[in-house]
Amino acid sequence: MFDGYDSCSEDTSSSSSSEESEEEVAPLPSNLPIIKNNGQVYTYPDGKSGMATCEMCGMVGVRDAFYSKTKRFCSVSCSRSYSSNSKKASILARLQVTGKPPTKKAKVLQKQPLVAKLAAYAQYQATLQNQAKTKSVAVSMEGFSWGNYISSNSFIAAPVTCFKHAPMGTCWGDISENVRVEVPNTDCSLPTKVFWIAGIVKLAGYNALLRYEGFENDSGLDFWCNICGSDIHPVGWCAASGKPLVPPRTIQHKYTNWKAFLVKRLTGAKTLPPDFSQKVSESMQYPFKPCMRVEVVDKRHLCRTRVAVVESVIGGRLRLVYEESEDRTDDFWCHMHSPLIHHIGWSRSIGHRFKRSDITKKQDGHFDTPPHLFAKVKEVDQSGEWFKEGMKLEAIDPLNLSTICVATIRKVLADGFLMIGIDGSEAADGSDWFCYHATSPSIFPVGFCEINMIELTPPRGYTKLPFKWFDYLRETGSIAAPVKLFNKDVPNHGFRVGMKLEAVDLMEPRLICVATVTRIIHRLLRIHFDGWEEEYDQWVDCESPDLYPVGWCQLTGYQLQPPASQSSRESQSGSSKQKKKAKSQQYKGHKKMTTLQLKEELIDGEDYNFLQGASDQESNGSANFYIKQEP
């Protein structure tokens, strides 16, 4: 019978030819000396040398820690390599006698000076250390488990129904705790794949903590899995498919009549809809295809758009390559419902700046994306009272999404679109203006931050601190954009403070990270990236297509960035996050005037009820925040 040792033993074929028999010796302690700086070798009290030099790699070390009876090698591998190389050298020598030129291996096998050997060994050790570091980073990323992370910290995750753009977001149904499913039975020694029934103990996005039926309160074999995975089936699937239901080996002895047990346990229980897997498959079909052409924001000049081509589609996220990129490395990531992409011709239709491509004709296979595939914006009436150039407002800074800044409407475009500039940091040519729609959840009326206790970032270089809107409007001769023109809709989004999710780092949009909701103001969410400092947080709308349920990356095959450790944060010191940090430090302002002051100086009672949001503890995503209070 296989005893488990043969498969683990090392190949001894090469060592059998060695003249020296090998013996196991304790590893070399790190505190033992290798060689003195002056080149002298340690000796024992009796005068015998206590050091030895490895005949394979040239390493100098304590003789007692060396291998073989004659202490010729510093390790087992060196001993075996020496024996193997001796054979090779002999063969190469015979080949040279026949007149054939020496090979590279033969040259390497020639004896080298001790100094060269030591240098080569030092380089070899450095390589091993670098490989170990790389491997540890890879293991930390691949080894992250949402299940362990949530269970060990008692976290909760945002439900799938919070993400209407995600797979199953609109048809999740009544999937909840205590729903029964049929899953593979891993506690079984049978050679074929068998199944058993399990119940959902806890839900975390797409992930579910399952417990086999019959374990009652025993959580010893509980396991996490993605409920949308191919191995999860509704109760009854095995019977319909001819698959065996076999109880786990650990509890086989508990009941003699398992059929009667299951009938009793499953009577009145809920399970997945019979077409659940079909719905999952259908919800993961995306209309955008490679080679489609779109207009997308120019990541180097936010004020304009460029033509880009869909390179790939993963879970509805598009990798767009700018059309003029010859090596196809100049790319941009966004969701297919992102407000940053539009159909070909959109810029011209609304008067938006557009970078014309040097490519005079479409490349083979590329075609314009049908306009109906893009996200629709709410129609607005610009004929009456409307936004005007020069009006002041508050806006999320697209270059530093952790801040809401003093901003100005720089240009009014068609179809309700506005060009916004951040006061105090605008380029002279307006190249950093950003396009927001009038209904965008990223722009706010004057006073929004103060009333909702959000730190407002004043214009760069503004010296009259603390910043006061009333004084600033008077000094600049400006007026505030009317409150009634802003978006007042707040959906019942279902998010709560503390919920976990997967979120795009919009400053590096190819990355999706482990994240937490830390604040909720109306429909505005403060997203914190686990393991990073708060200055890297981002303000995101509750319906943003850049937020996903726990388990989305696993479901779609996208790489998830785990929570940052201290070492990884330090390794990012030269990354874009540090640049963002420097900018945020320049923009930071002081605490502002009280809510009562602002209300009296700037805002009437009706507008105040719109601006004021619930506290983080009371916020529940309902539309009641904007209802005018009757006297």
- pLDDT at residue number 573: 47
As a whole number of angstroms, the distance between CA 503 and CA 525 comes to 12
Tokens 């805002």 correspond to what residue?
603
Distance CA 122, CA 35 (A): 14
Domain 286-373 carries which CATH code?
2.30.30.140
pLDDT of residue 128: 54
Cα torsion 550, 553, 554, 559: sign? negative
- Is 423 in contact with 407 (CB distance < 8 Å)? yes
**b (16+ CB within 10 A) / e for 570-605:** eeeeeeebeebbebbeebebeebeebeebbeebbee
Which residue stretches of 53-103 are H helix?
Answer: 76-97
Task: Write down the pLDDT at residue 37.
Answer: 33
Tell me whether strands 207-212 and 331-335 are parallel, antiparallel or unpaired.
Answer: unpaired
What pLDDT does 13 receive? 38
Tokens representing residue 154 in the block: 């008692």
Q: What are residue 348's phi and psi, to 5 degrees?
A: -65, -35
Residues of the chain with pLDDT under 70: 1-52, 57-69, 76-77, 80-142, 358-362, 566-631
pLDDT at 143: 75
The fold for domain 499-561 equals SH3 type barrels. (2.30.30)
Q: Which of 560, 558, 547, 555 lies closest to 228, judged by CA?
A: 555
Classify domain 175-272 at the CATH topology level: SH3 type barrels. (2.30.30)
In angstroms, the Cα distances linking 512 to 227, 429, 503, 562 are: 21, 33, 5, 9
Enumerate the CATH 2.30.30.140 domain ranges in the chain, comma separated.
Answer: 175-272, 286-373, 391-486, 499-561
**Residue 213: exposed, middle, or buried by beta-carbon count in 10 A (0-12, 13-18, 19+)?**
buried
In the prediction, which pLDDT does 342 show?
97
**CATH fold for domain 391-486:** SH3 type barrels. (2.30.30)
pLDDT for the residue 85: 60
Burial 74-113 (b: 16+ CB within 10 A, else e): bbbebbbebbebeeeeeebeeeeeeeeeeeeebeebeeee
